[in-house]
Every structure is written in structure tokens, then in C-alpha cells.
Amino acid sequence: MSNNTKKPEADYSFKHEEDRPDTRTCLSCRTTFSSEGWGNRLCQTCRSRSSSSMAA
Ligand SMILES: [Zn+2]
């Protein structure tokens, strides 16, 4: 019998340690806000503002 099974390693590498809800500073207005995770660097005000202004 071949016992060739690889030991499954916990694959946490895809998850950045900062990819979690935390308090961050808005990149736009420097307001401290509750971030939903990695990629969420703007406060609600700036996010809604940027998404509403779709002008090229
Ligand atoms: Zn902001």
C-alpha cells in the first residue's frame, strides 16, 4: 500500500492579517472609521461620495 498522502496544511496565506474588521483612518478625509476589512480604506462618507460621482 502506498502511503503517499500529503499532510494538509492550513492555508491561511491567502488571508492577509489586516483583512479583518478594524478601526482605520480614511485615506481621503483622515477620519477614523470602522473598516470592514482589507480594501476598505475609505470611510462611509467618502465611499458614498466617490460612488455617487461617476463622472469620468
Ligand atoms: Zn473619509
pLDDT tens figures, 14-55? 666 656 778 889 999 999 998 877 678 889 899 898 776 555
AA identity, residue 23: T
**CA–centroid distance, residue 37 to ligand 1 (Å):** 15
- Identify the domain containing residue 41 by its residue range: 22-52
Residue 2 belongs to some domain of the structure: no
How many domains would you assign to the chain? Answer: 1
**CA–centroid distance, residue 9 to ligand 1 (Å):** 39
Q: What pTM value is reported for the model?
A: 0.51
Residue 8 belongs to some domain of the structure: no
**CA–centroid distance, residue 45 to ligand 1 (Å):** 6
**d(Cα 18, Cα 11) in Å, to the nearest integer?**
16
Residue 17 belongs to some domain of the structure: no
Residue 35 belongs to some domain of the structure: yes
What is the predicted pLDDT for the residue at 36? Answer: 77
Q: What sign results for the dihedral spanned by CA atoms 27, 29, 32, 33? A: negative
What is the predicted pLDDT for the residue at 39? Answer: 76
What is the predicted pLDDT for the residue at 35? Answer: 83
Angle, alpha carbons 26-32-34 (nearest 5°): 90
Query: At residue 37, what are phi and psi to the nearest 5 degrees?
Result: 150, -170
Enumerate residues with CB within 5 Å of ligand 1 (an ion).
26, 28-29, 31, 43, 46
Residue 27 belongs to some domain of the structure: yes
